């Protein structure tokens, strides 16, 4: 399963780059992520709970960042084992460039599942992968630039302490004082 998409984020490339290397941002953005620890150099240990069709599983695995070109792009790869449910493995090749209105984020996602997930969930895996990718980058966008008018994404609650301008994402608030 492969998909490609892009979106423009209302922040300068340096802010976006810093966000993408921040474990807390990753933790909030990975859908279903229960825990994430580690650092960009050694990678992260993550636990993710997801339901694919009839199969619900807690995946434990490793997330690594590679092909890092500061300020331009990197590859985020993850592989999780879900026990009897099988495994899921995916990577997102992310490229960023300064664009009008902020930063243009382009991504190519490649996703594989195995074992019972493939056996039972193959019919819906394409849709599932797209949803996972969309959610990740939507959360990333809102984490960086803040929610659109009238929206209350769950990401806001995380790390958002004290008064904060409503139009700023929690990450932006932390680094842009």
Residue 27 CA to residue 150 CA, distance in Å, equals: 24
Check binding of 119 to other proteins (CB under 8 A).
yes
Which among 21-29, 98-106, 111-119, 143-151 is the span making contact with other proteins, rule CB under 8 A?
111-119
CB of 84 to other proteins, least distance (A): 6
Candidate residues 23, 112, 138, 164; the one interacting with other proteins per rule CB under 8 A: 112
Residue closer to other proteins, measured from CB, 1 or 158: 1
Which among 22-30, 120-128, 130-138, 147-155 is the span making contact with other proteins, rule CB under 8 A?
120-128
* Contact present, 78 and 90 (Cβ < 8 Å): yes
Strand partners, 33: 48
Q: Using alpha carbons, list the distances in angstroms from residue 165 to 3, 54, 76, 145, 160.
A: 34, 41, 30, 11, 10
Check binding of 118 to other proteins (CB under 8 A).
yes
Token reading at 125: 């895996």
Check binding of 49 to other proteins (CB under 8 A).
no
Check binding of 43 to other proteins (CB under 8 A).
no
Check binding of 114 to other proteins (CB under 8 A).
yes
Hey, is 161 helix, strand or coil? coil
- Best CA proximity match to 157, nearest among 50, 32, 28: 28
Query: Which residues contact other proteins by CB under 8 A?
Result: 83-84, 86-87, 112-116, 118-120, 122-123
């Amino acid at each position: 399963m492969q998909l490609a998409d892009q979106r423009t984020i209302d922040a300068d490339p340096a802010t976006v780059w810093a966000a993408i290397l921040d474990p807390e941002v990753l933790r909030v953005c990975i859908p279903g992520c229960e825990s994430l620890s580690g650092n960009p150099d050694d990678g992260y240990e993550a636990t993710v709970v997801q339901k694919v069709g009839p199969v619900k599983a807690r995946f434990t695995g490793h997330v690594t960042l590679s092909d890092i070109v500061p300020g331009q792009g990197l590859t985020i790869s993850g592989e999780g084992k879900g026990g009897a449910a099988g495994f899921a493995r995916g990577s997102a090749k992310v490229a960023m460039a300064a664009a009008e209105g902020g930063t243009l984020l382009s991504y190519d996602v490649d996703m594989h599942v195995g074992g019972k997930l493939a056996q039972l969930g193959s019919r819906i895996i394409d849709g599932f992968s797209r949803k996972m990718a969309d959610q990740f980058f939507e959360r990333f966008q809102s984490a960086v630039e803040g929610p659109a008018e009238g929206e209350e994404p769950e990401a806001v609650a995380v790390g958002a302490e004290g008064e904060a301008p409503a139009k700023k994402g929690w990450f932006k608030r932390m680094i842009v004082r």
